[in-house]
Structure 1
Amino acid sequence: MRPNTLEPLARAGAFAPDEQESVYKAIKTRRDVRSEFLPDAVPDEVIRRLLDAAHHAPSVGFMQPWNFVVVKDDAVKTAVWEAFNRANLEAAEMFSGEQQATYRSLKLEGIRTAPLGLCVTCNPDRCGDVVLGRTHNARMDSYSTVCAIQNLWLAARAEGIGVGWVSIFREDELKHILGVPERIEIVAWLCIGYVDRFYSEPELAVKGWRQRLPLEELVFSDHWGERDPEFASSIAAAAEVPPRPGS
């Protein structure tokens, strides 16, 4: 978490220090949940709050290209899991040796165990052919939809609700199951539900798949590949600051 500070609020609109801590806490303790879902139903009022948080995401040209398919039906979730499983078996064959063994040991989805599934889509035609801000990058509508997913994910973490993003499937199969039109892009299938715990670190780090890269190695100054040694050192030093008590 951020180091403690006694500096007064000096910027218009800045949150109070404890409110800032809550935002950073949600960001740093957010997890991609795979196997810790409880069977408890998520109340509709909570689902509404999460969707409202998603709907308040920024979007290029204010096009708001997202739609949300809320799935509670077990038969639909089973069909989605079967599509995932076919793709997952193919994915496993793309790795080799010890990495393949580690991949096969991971539970990469909670499609059938999470009480709620959410398909998040992107409609590229919502604002017509020419969209403010998308004139030179056709993917900006998809990127906007990802912002909506992140908003929902952080709100869910604040509510004590786990979210798992499933990306291993063939899009045409998922469209067929859910009746999604051809022109609509499926951006994510999210598994959502209360959990028995949140890992203290990302699950893939805990289970040895990958570790978080040092931030100072990823930040350049003015030009690609150029680093400001003093700034890099300050980033590294900040990473070593222990969290505030109770955060």
Structure 2
Amino acid sequence: MNAEKQSAGGLIAASPFGKEAREAVYRAIHTRRDVRDQFLPDALDDELVRRLLEAAHAAPSVGFMQPWSFILVRDPATRQRAWEAFSKANEEAAALFNDEKRMLYQSLKLEGIRKAPLSIVVTCDPDRAGPVVLGRTHNPKMDVYSTVCAVQNLWLAARAEGVGVGWVSIFHDRDVRSLLGIPERVEIVAWLCLGYVNELYAEPELAQKGWRQRLDLDDLICDERWVDKPICSAERRGG
């Protein structure tokens, strides 16, 4: 990584990136996908994993609290136990949908925990910066919001490296906490499955398989103050 030239005051130029660099950033954003089943078994190089973690650690955080930690899970036995916890919760989740949606839900392949060679569990420690944190004084959720920024940084860096990422959220907190020895005060934010992939869906998998379509951006934009707009997804509009 090229170091930017610093001024005497520790500042660097805020000039825009060149055209190719800008396009690469937007390409990573728009082609990032949540990978569920397409992982290859090849191990990820330690230097590559380090780059991804450094990208995550470079995320913005309110009050510079940096509340995140990363648990690297490679052991197949541990991942098998995590998959069993997920499977139990997944059956409970399927029962919440009506018959048509349930069939589609059950058709989705959610095998990332066992297939991906690496899992990274991202946690948030609310005590990392002490009891009073600049910027969190009136919104206690800012530590979790900051941690999610680290997840997104890692995800975009992984896309640039040709690494697929899948976010597993269907599990009982207590099961993962017990499995990995995570203290009660530390919040589990994300179980991420990582591995090389040969292909990615051209659009989000859930959109391609008819679960839900992307909302129209214009329906989500308000000028100056809140406007209660009817939000219609593409399938409801017939798109």
1:151 to 127, 150, 153: 153
Distance (whole Å) between structure 2 residues aligned to residue 102 and residue 24 of structure 1: 31
Q: Which residue in 2 is equivalent to 1:212?
A: 214
Distance (whole Å) between structure 1 residues aligned to residue 102 and residue 70 of structure 2: 34
Q: Matched residue of 2:122: which SS?
A: strand
Contact 1:114 1:192 in 2 (8 A): yes
Q: Which residue in 2 is equivalent to 1:244?
A: none
Q: CA deviation at 1:206?
A: 0.7
2:61 to 59, 67, 90: 59
Distance (whole Å) between structure 1 residues aligned to residue 137 and residue 152 of structure 2: 24
One-letter code of the match for 2:150? A
Q: CA deviation at 1:109?
A: 4.1
Contact 1:118 1:192 in 2 (8 A): yes
One-letter code of the match for 1:89? E
Q: Which residue in 2 is equivalent to 1:141?
A: 143
One-letter code of the match for 2:206? L
Q: CA deviation at 1:97?
A: 1.6
Q: CA deviation at 1:108?
A: 2.9
Q: Which residue in 1 is equivalent to 2:237?
A: none
Q: Which residue in 2 is equivalent to 1:27?
A: 29
Contact 1:117 1:190 in 2 (8 A): yes
Q: Which residue in 2 is equivalent to 1:235?
A: none
Q: Which residue in 1 is equivalent to 2:121?
A: 119
1:193 to 189, 192, 195: 195
**1:83-98 equivalences in 2 (<5 Å):** 83-98=85-100
Q: Which residue in 1 is equivalent to 2:178?
A: 176
Contact 1:109 1:166 in 2 (8 A): no
CA RMSD for the aligned pairs? 1.2
Q: Matched residue of 1:165: which SS?
A: strand
Q: Matched residue of 1:191: which SS?
A: strand
Distance (whole Å) between structure 2 residues aligned to residue 219 and residue 62 of structure 1: 29
Aligned length: 217
Distance (whole Å) between structure 1 residues aligned to residue 39 and residue 175 of structure 2: 25
Residue ranges of structure 1 left out of the alignment (5+ in a row): 1-10, 228-247
Distance (whole Å) between structure 2 residues aligned to residue 124 and residue 56 of structure 1: 18
Q: CA deviation at 1:226?
A: 7.4
Q: Matched residue of 2:115: which SS?
A: coil
Q: Matched residue of 1:111: which SS?
A: helix
Contact 1:122 1:184 in 2 (8 A): yes
Q: Which residue in 1 is equivalent to 2:226?
A: 224
Q: Matched residue of 1:142: which SS?
A: helix
Q: CA deviation at 1:217?
A: 0.9
Per-residue CA shift, 1:124-168, capped at 9, x if unaligned? 001111100000100000000000000000000000000000000
One-letter code of the match for 2:28? A
Contact 1:26 1:154 in 2 (8 A): yes
One-letter code of the match for 2:106? R
Distance (whole Å) between structure 1 residues aligned to residue 84 and residue 110 of structure 2: 13
Q: Among all aligned residue pairs of Structure 1 and Structure 2, give the percentage whose two residues are the same amino acid.
A: 63
